Structure 1
Amino acid sequence: MAQLPDLEAMAIFAKVVELKSFSAAADDLKLSKATVSKAVTRLEIRLGARLFNRTSRRLSLTEAGLRLAEPAARLLADGEAAEDEILAQSAQPRGLVRLASPMSFGLLEVAPLLPDFLAAYPEVSVDLHMSDEAVDLVGLGFDMALRIAALPDSSLIARRIGPVARHVVAAPSYLAARGRPTHPAHLAEHACLGYAYLPTPETWRFVNDAGEEASVRPAGPLRANNAEALLPALEAGLGLALQPDFIVGSSLAAGRLEAVLTEWSPPPVALHLVMPPGGPRPARVEAMAQFLVSRLSERCAGRGLVSTDGAA
């Protein structure tokens, strides 16, 4: 394998040529004069040619030094320009943010916020990927994701925005025809509409204020990989379902659905913002993260979708 060029020594050489002094180059680069001199000597040994004629009073380029001066200066200038560009991007939010979100939450709660974000950060663009299936942030190159879950331990950096309320709901017509369950065990006698990405989709678990636990294996005529897709069947009176408040809140308020088993609660889940490990993060990512945490906390608390209790 060919040896890589000594780019550091070449950049130091270019700075000496620019300032016509080893001492001035050392001051400008915040290096010792000995470090600058050793870098130039290292480059001369590598190239097999002297680059400077040095006396106590004068510094001049040799023929080899003259040939190297221009490309070395270009190398230094390109490196400084590239570094300045990245630093500028780090200081000023610009570029693409890739954000993943659950489908219904993305449509109902995230998408309405994006016009304000894009107006506040006109040099940032957003790639919003919506799917109820948890995506591989690192493998697929996402900057962050919103997740509604009881998150397992992982290498991802997670910020908890707040708990998400969930209810067992049904249409008044269904309850009139089939009766109102008063214990989770009664759900075994009912048509239950299933959501494929519940933490335990094959088993619904509950606990009451007294600490009693109960579970049931639901069965019914419909199962979907998106919770909002169950809403038409719910309102048509085809069964019960365990649904998050941000999907059924308006239907509950309008009386199209009713909550049952209100003395029992499913295992708690929360809204989280998760990001891949590592840092520091680009300004565009930090801007999006702060915006989402702030606005979703306000929006969800204001509409009663998520009761915010701080971030973890």
Structure 2
Amino acid sequence: MAMDQLAAMATFVRAVDSGSLSAAARSLPSSLTAVSRQISALEQHFGTRLLVRTTRQLALTDDGRMLYERAKSILGEVKEIEEALAGSRREPSGRLRVSAPTLMGRLLIAPLLGDFLHACPSLSVDLLLVDRNVNLIEEDVHLALRVGRIPDSQLVTRKLAEVQMIHCASPGYLARRGEPQSPSDLPRHDCLVFSDAPGAATWRFGRDAKGGSRIRIAGRLWVNSLDALASAAENGAGIVRVPSWQVERQLAEGRLRRLLREHEPAPAPLHALYQPSRLGSAKIRAFIDFLVERWRGSDPLGR
């Protein structure tokens, strides 16, 4: 991509963020004529209209909105490269946008951010808590934490830890319904399922990928919140499948009992993912190293 195209995209993004061509010209600084010429050149290059100009504000066309989102991502990557080449990797700075599963982010990551920000005073963090796989480019996410096997992709991955899923229920529920002795007993029990789409679920058992078994579960309760599921299980609603670290206190205090331990699946890996263009990013490396150091020895994930 030619440098003049990058400059034109930067001007286009600045105009959208500023709300007008004149405001963009003042902030660059540049002349109004130069700003208008760059945006017109972009429209001519892509063969489409990007902005609808009115007397008071700018409005993006559909093509303009797509270019705006992609241009912000491209410009962010260029800035990362410039910082790495300039040697700024010695001092993490700027903005770091991280995504993580909701419960893990709330219980294990958010409590650490105060110390991390104190250690990196030139850095700010956006923490996005979502139970889905984000698109790093389209959503402008620098680093994503994901649990489970990572399919083949062009993203850089680093394994941070392992997450053990366990099955448990309250003593009250087990007194009423009995304790399952094998996974094949579960279809006759009330199972609590983490999902936002009710129906049928499959729970995997056994640590051998080839010799393991899969049990189809007809859930009595479906919730898209692990917190809510654990609370329901604690109050006798049924058997729940959750990360071991989530219910450590409930197990220690006897409010939940761990079931089918000898049949538990192999731990699922927790990975950090980021784009190859950010390989030399000081802020990404600083955050990953911070998590590894904080989790070493304390075993917050129940490894």
Same fold (TM over 0.5): yes
Deviation at 1:149, TM superposition (A): 1.2
Distance 1:196 1:109 in 2: 21
The 1:192–1:174 alpha-carbon spacing in structure 2 relative to 1, beyond 3 Å, is same
The 1:4–1:261 alpha-carbon spacing in structure 2 relative to 1, beyond 3 Å, is closer
Distance 2:222 2:114 in 1: 34
Contact 2:84-2:281 at 8 Å conserved across structures? no
Contact 2:162-2:267 at 8 Å conserved across structures? yes
Q: What do you get for the CA RMSD once the two structures are aligned?
A: 2.8
Counterparts in 2 of 1:61-210, with a 5 A limit? 87=86, 89-196=88-195, 202-207=201-206
- How many residues align structurally? 223
Deviation at 1:96, TM superposition (A): 0.2
Q: Highest Rg: 1 or 2? A: 1
Distance 1:108 1:168 in 2: 20
The 1:161–1:306 alpha-carbon spacing in structure 2 relative to 1, beyond 3 Å, is farther
The 1:212–1:181 alpha-carbon spacing in structure 2 relative to 1, beyond 3 Å, is farther
Equivalent AA in structure 2 for residue 305 of structure 1:
L
The runs of at least 4 consecutive aligned structure 1 residues that moved more than 3 Å come to 83-86, 88-91
The 1:84–1:110 alpha-carbon spacing in structure 2 relative to 1, beyond 3 Å, is closer
Deviation at 1:86, TM superposition (A): 7.6
Equivalent AA in structure 2 for residue 256 of structure 1:
R
Instruction: Give a deviation string over 1:157-206, Cα, whole Å, max 9, x none.
Output: 111122211111100000000000011010000011001289xx721121
Question: TM-score if structure 1 supplies the norm length?
Answer: 0.65
The 1:264–1:4 alpha-carbon spacing in structure 2 relative to 1, beyond 3 Å, is closer
Deviation at 1:153, TM superposition (A): 2.0
Greater shift in the superposed pair: 252-261 or 217-226: 217-226
Greater shift in the superposed pair: 99-108 or 275-284: 275-284
Corresponding residue for 2:233?
A: 234
Contact 2:102-2:130 at 8 Å conserved across structures? yes
Distance 2:186 2:285 in 1: 45
SS of 1:220's equivalent?
Answer: coil
Equivalent AA in structure 2 for residue 151 of structure 1:
I
* Identical counterparts, % of pairs: 37
Equivalent AA in structure 2 for residue 150 of structure 1:
R
Corresponding residue for 2:222?
A: 223
Distance 2:264 2:274 in 1: 29
Contact 2:164-2:266 at 8 Å conserved across structures? no
Deviation at 1:208, TM superposition (A): 6.3
Distance 2:150 2:134 in 1: 14
Contact 2:99-2:128 at 8 Å conserved across structures? yes
Question: TM-score if structure 2 supplies the norm length?
Answer: 0.67
Equivalent AA in structure 2 for residue 247 of structure 1:
Q
Deviation at 1:88, TM superposition (A): 6.0
Distance 1:192 1:257 in 2: 14
Equivalent AA in structure 2 for residue 105 of structure 1:
M
Distance 1:86 1:208 in 2: 45
Corresponding residue for 1:249?
A: 248
Greater shift in the superposed pair: 273-282 or 141-150: 273-282
Distance 1:100 1:223 in 2: 24
Contact 2:84-2:282 at 8 Å conserved across structures? no
Corresponding residue for 1:64?
A: none
Corresponding residue for 1:22?
A: none
